[in-house]
Structure 1
């Protein structure tokens, strides 16, 4: 009767910043929460046209208790009939109110943000996860798989999965239950979606796999020509690297969302992205069009083409099978030769260790065909030489040797053709060690690099090591001279030779390594920038800090009275000297101890200064120069990838080369993510100057 709800909502709607951060704000939200604990009050709140929207605005406060109460209210409304849609509407309203880039962005930022107190942090993150689970599984989410997949994808695009993995580190049973529930429902939904395609799992991060599934499902159906038409028109859509035309793709995305989610009555479980768009009515209009017959005729033509292609495919498969058999036979032969060579190599090694330099020269000459060394037969010399005396005179290591057999055996093992190696020995050895860790053949490595490691065969650390073994020009020149002897090449030599055949091999590796490291580097830099930004704001806003400085200034002026006059202020750096100023009565007591006693007695509120400067300790650890250097390095890396992408677009693509499509997608996403980081850093630079100007500028030491 007194319309108290409207009074509360009007208060929330019109309060200023200081009020929003006060206990009054928390109390008002508590009143609304209490009102909703009974059916009559709840109905009254839900009947108000703006109530849920206004309540959602309170998420912008920094007060954790207020945020938790708001999330509990919104989560409860999700469970009420017709309340779920109101909450989704409220989150869209909050997106505009808080100038969010996307819906739920603030929630994900809060979920990922670190705070001072463990209990407050865990309570808030638990409330957020509880709300997310309610939004996903209540209302339309109870029995609508499409809706759950649609809304969950929105959270996944905001990066909720790595945040969930990070939250596991809190080791809180209540929070873990909410995390487990989120992942359990997600796994069940993914499994249910996969069952529709008779699969165990669908990689929704892979555009190629999803396209193949759609293609497989629609092939030989009347819908297939329309899929081709959609793809053809997508190809014709304008493309700008700056992303200026993303709204057209956004429109296409929203049309598809509404087609999937809209029920038979034309109702949308989520807020309709397009007004007056009734899927059912539009489909009815299309069914009767004469174009259906034309597409059927074209589908028949496609079937005939498909039959012809299948025939050609079967022929190629038979050829591949034959080639595979031939390859297996050759591998058996090569393995036998390898075993034989290893055995002979073992016999030779004992002598070679002792005459390293001379034998190395002999081996080097033995590799050169068409020279005088192929015409010389040193068997005659072996028959007359005193090898024991020679061995004693020139042995690299004076140690007892096993018997080598006859002179002729020594000659045969010396003359045996060994592996061809032109690469520096130590470098070749390290390269072989790396290849053994990779456990991939040269061809598998080559294919992984060409396909930009879409199968995740190459780990980041392995890529970093591979960059150390990029063929140099001198290596390439030597290897090219012996390319006709590729079968005799040592493992490292052959690897470097085959990798040198890949166009811009080094640039590809660098681009791939940058792509894999990019998320990690971004995840390390962004919290540091945010810490500086938030700490700068906290320093300016902190009332307790101003009061503390006021007390210190008063004591300082009192101590210096009659000597330097009355100071207007002091350098903040001089606060470090407070602990060095000792009492003349008790040398164990410093000015710092005394100040704390004064604060406890007269200014107890100052002792809670940490609550106003929560991000300061984290920001203090950040080296701004190093941070700016890292951001510039990321920017330079992005430009290098873009330059290589331009080069790859201009050349003729090799079969199986996936550089352009993979790196185009990466550049699109990475450029956007980096621009956010860069904007944040620029804002942090501007904000951090303010506290420096306020606190660090040399102040006048005395009055005129």
Structure 2
């Protein structure tokens, strides 16, 4: 693989991706690579370029050669873009110097353009001046040929410039720069970027757009912005500009017929100005373009019909710094801060007044509530006077004594007396002297059926009272506590048999039949009928109140059946029905079917068990006969393991078997039973049902169980053996024992060994200056005196995996496999002609024997290893034994890194705090990625700021795309 990667010349990130492929995918890539043949070596292209640069010979021959140059450069660009990296590296090598020849040819192709432009600008075309100017532009290219300044060279250059050679040279350089090594060569070349920038003088707008896209991408690579600025400084000097970017703005203003060039130019200006971190420098670059009339020109371009150009213009304007607007914003901010402080003070005053108003309103409401309570009492008292005029006359006597009854139960408001009711007269003997006032009795339970005794008559005129109401529950005594909207009634009439002048209101207040007292005689909720819906509806998971919890609540006054009678629920059912629906049927038909099913089906199973069995059968999705046949024939493909485990719960119990037998003995038809019961009848007739299902489950789980158990046993065996047989680990422990005895022998005596948990204490024992631990020192001793022990951990294998193993559980699983295999053997002894059982036993007997043997080996090896290190295997499971070594190895490896950790943490923290830079790091494919991204989304500077005002007044921002 390593040799193949080298031959394919893949970058590191692509190599990492290639290593993740499987072997088949790798082989396909290797075959594709071998089928790919490079058309020409780099030297072939370089020889042709060198021949074009040779200025000797007849001009007619050069005309023939120049016809071939365009095709050669096109093939070179394709090779640089599509061949492997090694081809490009060979082209750029020191031996071939492909980049130098490519730059020389591009300079030769466009030198005539530079000369002609300079002549037009100065109004002269003298050869002496042209040679002088060209010498100035080419002084940074040591590899240039000397004959370039001749008139013949100028004629040849004009012939080349009329072709697409410069454009193809730029394409070649773009392909080279897409590789990190090629990009670095271009950036460090003395005149490559300068020549790319000078290509803006080319007459082809496509070439100019290509150059600007490439230069914009370079600006976004780290260090590229400074190089591009330096190239434009050289452009200014070569082309005789008065100020930088003068020619660029001239081309942008004059060549308005080519939208691609204008889009690329606007994008380049945006990135050139706003891709720098220094805000002051951004303002400076922005002013350079504003000085050349960019702002005015953008105002004229707002009427362009090109959406792409409008997007780039708006992106530039969104990034523009308007220093005057920023100053104005700063002044406005200070004024707003002062205004905000005033508003906060005003808000505090209003809040204070609001709190005072709330307090006053609370007092007013409280007084009104008290007045309402008193008024309600008086209204109820007047109602009571109308019910009992005789008692009213006596009670309203101011000076005469009043002797109220000890208790009084009032019936509901007036009703005709029941027949046979006796009339109570006023000729009763005087009451005996009152007993001492007892404490108020507790309220009777609401479910009591005792009827309160008929109260004695009030003294004075006789009062005819109806008999007590039917026994529907006992109301609490009127003296009991009652919390209601109208106040609290706590007075008990029986507490005093005399009513003073001042207690008259209290006495009659206790007699008022309040709403709560009356509701206690309510007989209970109506029996609500179940609602049969047209469709199956989803459940509404609320917490319902029980019937005895509704009494006295608002729900006691609601009638939901009346609401349902007023509404059309068809639309509700259509919108909220569940997705799983049976065929819609009429509600009456459904009720008839439900009633028929209830009366015709008799279930032998307990309801919940029958319901769970029905759910299980629906999950299986098989007919009863198919399920039972699969169990009888041990068909593992027909029955899934999950379904078998569910069926195992429904093996008929003895009670269910008796019920089924009695049902069949009575001769009753099976059609009267539900589907679950019919399944249970057929299911229970399978011979040795429990053994069959157990065998099927075991056979299905056996391969997975082996796959889970075997690696864990292997980990225990390998880890135990590697620890026990490691001579380097033994030497390490010997060194630790020596240091421990050296530290403790004078105080505690010499030790002959130590518990493994002591290894964790090596990090806790620190030196006097607290700068290093005992483990640090031991590691330094090992590095100095025992270098062969430094890699002792390479002899210890599978420590982390063995630490996760529960050996007791694994051994129990092995025993369970043995029991399952024994049951399978017994089943095969009964059915020796069953091929499924025979094949299973034949193929898995030896495998199980091997696992059982490995289990015994793992147990023996682990116990001997634990005892070898002085531990008790009964109290030291693998989850305690192996992690000691895992932690020790981890700490040992980290010791050399300890001095560097604070510095590394600081670097990581600084990196974390850094903001994501505007520029990118150079890497393979970076240039193409940047160019592609810029075509998709325009460049936006990091600083979030207001949009430019240049187009706000004219409404451009509303018309431009977002």
TM bin (shorter chain): 0.3 to 0.5
The structure showing larger relative contact order (alpha-carbon pairs under 8 Å, at least 6 residues apart) is 2
TM-score with structure 1 length normalisation? 0.40
Higher share of residues assigned helix: 1
Q: Which has the larger radius of gyration?
A: 2
